[in-house]
Structure 1
Amino acid sequence: MMNPNSKINGPTEVFSPNDDAELSAFLADSYARGIPLRIAGGGTRLDLGALNAQQTLTSRALTGIVTYEPGALTLIARAGTPLEEVEQTLAEEGQALAFEPMDHRGLLGSSGVPTIGGVVAANVSGPRRLQAGACRDHLLGVRFVDGSGRKIKNGGRVMKNVTGLDLSKLMCGSFGTLGVLTEVALKTLPRAERQLTLVFSKVSLQEACTIFASALATPYEVSGAVYHQESAWLRVEGFAQQAAYRADRLKALFRENQIDVIADEESRALWRDFKNVEVFAQSSEPLWRILIKPSEAPALARSLQLLGGDVFIDWGGGLVWYCGSAQSAEVRSAASAGRAVLIRQGARPASDRFPEDAGAISRLSAALRKTFDPAGILNPKLMGD
């Protein structure tokens, strides 16, 4: 049953179950023996080597698209299915994952293969989140095995079948600390026929955030709003006439500004770089991901820039990426109004990345972990005690 077959991020053995039954038996045995485990998908987003674990459990053998119904806009895939395979399958039918998950490999220098289970486990969401929502908003259901070996199914193939306690949303973003995903069901959406990007030059971050707030308050369905080094970008998508109309209306709204327009493939290439935060891919300095109220982004950016380094703004100001050598305590202090997560620690993925929760949130998190991982064996210490 134990089938260890390679090494990942350290000396521990790797177990890759082929189905739910193998996974359940392995976790039940680990639970009974109290063996701490590293939980990994493709191994591209976390430095699991620093975790106090004796074995690595990966979903990489749980591969394959179970069912895809383009007409119903639904896809079900096993957790270890490569993200690229999912995206290619959707592209063949003119569809896509609306939340456009990012690829962390450029930022972290990792060499694994991103999996759809890893995307869900980390709730990975790109620039379109401000319009379409996050990964969890497109998650219809999951299958997983918890820390005691129980096989659990929750949700359905369509929204009307999602009833009762929505464990899917709970698993999304839990980073393997509540259970090991084996299958995910997701909504898909048609790929936009046309994409246009409005480029604003020579604007301050304060001016950019004002532009973002005004644009996002319009009915023109802005699907991306980012800022870096005195330039701001707004993206609109849809059928050709829709996209052109939206771009024209936004240009009229901001007629006082100098605006250039980038179209289609050039625009898509630009937003792939934005999605993957390529601007910081060549740096080896620590990298932080900070969630903040958009109205507070300019003040946060100024505080961070005083510490040295650079900032990149996404989600219309709701997401601030900070790349710099400031101490963790300094960054967390500057970002006290938001939530700062350390993504890269120097030249390698971060291990101690999450801030400590306090009060009611801490108690709730501990209760959930006790329910789904009673022996504390799944990615121990990754997200607190």
Structure 2
Amino acid sequence: MAETLRPETAESVLDVVRWAAAEQVPLEILGHGSKRGIGRPVQAEYTLNLSALSGVTLYEPDELVFSAKAGTPLAEIEKLLADANQELAFEPMDYGPIFGLEPGTGTLGGVLAANLAGPRRIKAGAARDHILGLSAVSGRGEAFKAGGRVVKNVTGYDLSKGLAGSWGTLAVVTDLTFKVLPRPERIATVLVLGLSDEAACAAMAEAMGSSHEVSGAAHLPKGMARSCGLAVESSVTALRLEGFPSSVSYRSEALNGMMRDRGAVEILDMPQSENFWRAIRDCLPFAGRSDPLWRVSIAPRAGAALMARLANEPLNYFFDWAGGRVWIEVTGSAEDAAEGAIRRAIRAVGGGHATLIRGSAALRTGLSPFEPQPAPLAALSRRLKENFDPQGILNPGRI
């Protein structure tokens, strides 16, 4: 059992990492552990737990910016922003339910470490597109800052964005600053019922290419809609619209007319829409289960072709990001074989990448949970790791 270190200040984090670097002691970096099951299991003597490094240090609603310590619960930040009718526009996913944990256990540091994004990724981007600045400690035991508290504050290489999606393998982030945006006054969701995967991807592409400013596009195959709170047995293709009430009303009617020839159409009001997209964001159809779960990123129009090539595999799935993100749950016993089948299918439809989000420790150790990088990119990643963490003490082996 690894010993847990729980620093309460950024200075204490610096002291711990300096000691670990000098003694070449591996550290597992985590907040509340909601994403601990992603990647290979970390073999480390000590766990550096940042949950005590918590609290909002700056919030200026008029300037659309806030700063907080890395261990601050995301649920706390979302409530603070909601009270001021603001939000993190990239809609960060909560991974807790996938692993059977209580919702709201993720931290702000984990948002950047995993470069989180929800259904609005197709319009608003991910965490890396909204981070303004941070303070961190490299694996060398050196404290540094990057960015600031305004949008136009970076020249040269933006380290804040460079650390996004690094899964704690380059530096230990202690403080972060993000930009925020006003919450939409109204949300409506146009549902198209009964479409096949191919027809759904075509419908989502048409909607995204229209002038209606669709901010979310997802497709649930037959029988899956109930897990997202909809009393529907057929397949459901969902298109979200957000903004001022009059604008949403006009656009929802126009989108309704556009989709009417494709299938039966229904419109969800704001409370139902919020619940539905929260379920899509947090992958609730596959929450609280133990079967291996893969997240595939691919060209949106290739989503249907991908699943057609996997039609004979024992899988459950649904589409987000207009078909560009596919959640795939492996229900059969051939867990290892599923990796090969999924990655072969991705290559056959033009490329993309697959990440094992949930799996047993044996499965996560026996295969590559993250997409293997091409040689030139892998060499660049190694050089980056050697510069930030030459001793390899931060989350060793996770990626």
Note whether the superposition's TM-score is higher than 0.5.
yes
* Structure 1 residues 347 and 196: alpha-carbon distance in aligned structure 2, compared to 1, 3 A threshold: farther
The question of 1:29 aligning with 2:19 is answered yes
Q: Which amino acid aligns with 2:220?
A: H
- Candidates 295, 310, 319, aligned match of 2:301: 295
- The answer to whether the Cα contact below 8 Å between 2:131 and 2:177 also exists between their aligned partners in 1 is yes
Distance 2:327 2:274 in 1: 21
Gaps of 5+ in 1: 1-10
Output the amino acid matched with 1:234: L
Segments of structure 2 that go 5 or more residues without pairing to the other structure are 222-234
Aligned-residue offset at 1:46: 2.0
Match of 2:395 among 371, 379, 383: 379
Quick one: which amino acid aligns to residue 250 of structure 2?
Y
1:281 aligned residue: 287
CA distance in 1, matches of 2:375, 2:250: 49
Runs of 4+ in 1 over 4 A off after TM superposition: 346-352
Do the aligned partners of 1:289 and 1:341 also contact (CA within 8 Å) in 2?
Answer: yes
Matches within 5 A, 1:136-175: 136-175=128-167
The answer for the alignment partner of 2:50 in structure 1 is: 59
Alignment deviations for residues 151-195 of structure 1 (CA, whole Å, 9 cap, x no partner)? 110011111123332001111110000001101111101111110
Q: 1:349 to 1:87 in 2, by over 3 A?
A: farther
Give 1:128's aligned residue: 120
Matches within 5 A, 1:41-120: 41-47=31-37, 50-110=41-101, 113-120=105-112
Following superposition, the deviation at residue 317 of structure 1 comes to 0.9
Contact 2:37 2:359 survives alignment (8 Å): no
- Pairwise CA distance, 1:303: 2.1
Q: Which amino acid aligns with 1:334?
A: A
Counterparts of 2:199 and 2:144, CA distance in 1: 49
Query: C-alpha displacement at 1:343, in angstroms?
Result: 0.4
Q: Is 1:246 aligned with 2:283? A: no
1:192/1:163 CA distance change after superposition, 3 Å: same
Do 1:45 and 1:349's aligned partners in 2 also have CA atoms closer than 8 Å?
no
Is 2:4 the counterpart of 1:14? yes
Q: CA deviation at 1:348?
A: 10
Alpha-carbon distance in structure 1 between the residues aligned to 2:46 and 2:341: 34
2:343 paired with 1:332: yes
Q: Which amino acid aligns with 1:35?
A: V
Q: Tell me the TM-score normalized by structure 1.
A: 0.93
Q: How does 1:307-346 map to 2 (within 5 A)?
A: 307-324=313-330, 325=332, 326=335, 327=337, 328-336=339-347, 337-346=351-360
**Aligned mates of 1:160, 1:195 — CA distance in 2:** 31
- Cα 1:345–1:294 change in 2 (3 A) is same
Query: For the residues of structure 1 that align with 2:356 and 2:96, how far apart are their CA atoms?
Result: 15
Letter in 1 for 2:66: L
1:150-299 matches, cutoff 5 A: 150-229=142-221, 230-256=235-261, 257-299=263-305
TM-score between both structures, scaled by the size of structure 2: 0.90
Residue 251 of structure 1 and its aligned partner are, at CA, apart by 1.4
CA apart distance, 1:347: 9.7
SS at 1:353 equivalent: coil
The farther-off stretch of 199-208 and 112-121 is: 112-121
Per-residue CA deviations over 1:25-47 (Å, capped at 9, x if unaligned) read: 11111111111111112200123
Distance 1:379 1:82 in 2: 21
Q: Is the 8 A contact 1:108 1:348 kept in 2?
A: no
Paired residues, number? 373
RMSD: 1.7
Contact kept? 2:37, 2:357, Cα under 8 Å: no
Amino acid at match of 2:346: A
Equivalent of residue 369 in structure 1, options 385, 391, 399? 385
Match of 2:230 in 1: none
Q: What is the identity, as a one-letter code, of the residue corresponding to 1:162?
A: V
1:193 and 1:47 mapped to 2: Cα distance?
36
Is contact 1:312–1:321 with CA below 8 Å preserved after alignment? Answer: yes
Deviates more, 1:201-210 or 1:355-364: 355-364
Provide the C-alpha distance between the structure 1 equivalents of 2:380 and 2:363, rounded to a whole number of angstroms: 28
1:120-164 CA-partner distances (Å, limit 9, x unpaired): 110111001111111111111111100011111001111112333
